[in-house]
Amino acid sequence: MTGDQVLQDGPHRRVVRVGDTVRRPMLAWSGAIHELLRHLEAVGFPASPRVLGIDDQGREVLTYLDGDSGPDGWDRVVDERGLAAMARLLRDYHDAVRDFRPSARWASGADRVGTDQIVCHGDFGPWNLVWRGPEPVGILDWDYAGPGTHRRDVAYALEYVAPFRDDDMCLRWLRYPSPPDRRRRIEVFAGAYGLGSTDGLVDDVIAEQQRVLALTRRLAAEGREPQLTWLHDGVIDEGDRRVDWSRRHRHLLAGLP
């Protein structure tokens, strides 16, 4: 393959494929991400890109993971086979970082992993996975990795794959043929991940929605992109509405009467 293939071309970030590599702008916390990715390479975790260095334009150079990603990920998790496979991949990742104790600062501002924490991926949604058929084989976009409990990553994923969205959005945008059985999907994901119970998961999701909103607002206040654009465009306000929806529809999610 010759020439550059543009993978993302936002005003704040241009990501291109060059041959079998991906070139991305560096972030203030890229050192921490590279330390994480090098650890994953060292322990033989197969689903993460490898860090190859920095090019002459100051961009990080990563290996390209071949497969379907982005919007293609949504229909893969409608099927329970894809949903369960996604949960198993998350568990495999968490097992790979169980004893990892990095030294760098993350996007959240944290610089230490607590004794009861791991380095979460922080953005584990179907759009950030590389799929080959019904199986996720790669994980992309590690920009928001950082210390947290394993349930934080589980909760983040469940917001999008239960999903914590109304029926109209599920049918119109998320590729469901009929309204999803959210409680059933939470059970499938939790079981495939290896959780012994779904107790407390709905509250975990709501807490994670609130945490992500707070982080997004802080990064916007610091002038970071794309969060600053999201603030100006009203996208962050949509996050408040999603938290409200989750609270008002706990009966759909937690099996309540």
DSSP per residue, 158-215: HHHHTT-S-HHHHHHTS--SS---HHHHHHHHHHHHT-S--TTHHHHHHHHHHHHHHH
| CA 103 to each of CA 32, 147, 150: distance values in angstroms, whole numbers, following the listed order | 8, 11, 19
Residue 111 has pLDDT above 80, yes or no: no
At 11, is the pLDDT very low, low, confident or very high (cuts 50, 70, 90)? low
Percent of the chain with pLDDT over 90: 75
Please state the rounded mean pLDDT for residues 78-87: 98
Residue 237 has pLDDT above 90, yes or no: no
Residue 93 has pLDDT above 70, yes or no: yes
Among residues 165, 241, 248, 156, which one has the least CA distance to residue 207?
156
At 8, is the pLDDT very low, low, confident or very high (cuts 50, 70, 90)? confident
pTM of the model: 0.93
Please state the rounded mean pLDDT for residues 23-29: 92
Contact predicate 89/132, CB 8 Å: no
Q: How far apart are CA 80 and CA 250, in angstroms?
A: 22
At 3, is the pLDDT very low, low, confident or very high (cuts 50, 70, 90)? low
Amino acid at 236: I
Q: What is the pLDDT of residue 1?
A: 44
Percent of the chain with pLDDT over 70: 97
Residue 206 has pLDDT above 90, yes or no: yes
Question: Which token pair is 141?
Answer: 């976009």
Please state the rounded mean pLDDT for residues 69-87: 96
At 257, is the pLDDT very low, low, confident or very high (cuts 50, 70, 90)? very low
Residue, of 230 and 12, whose pLDDT is higher: 230
Sheet holding 4-9, edge to edge: 4-9, 14-18, 21-25, 59-63, 51-54
Residue 256 has pLDDT above 60, yes or no: no
Please state the rounded mean pLDDT for residues 247-252: 88
Please state the rounded mean pLDDT for residues 204-214: 94
Q: What is the pLDDT of residue 108?
A: 83
* Helix (H) or strand (E) run with residue 25 in it: strand 21-25
Amino acid at 37: L
Dihedral sign, CA of 82, 17, 230, 26? positive
Query: Among 86-95, 137-146, 218-227, where is mean pLDDT lowest?
Result: 218-227
Q: How far apart are CA 79 and CA 157, in angstroms?
A: 15
Tell me the three state secondary structure of residue 38: helix
Q: What is the pLDDT of residue 4?
A: 84
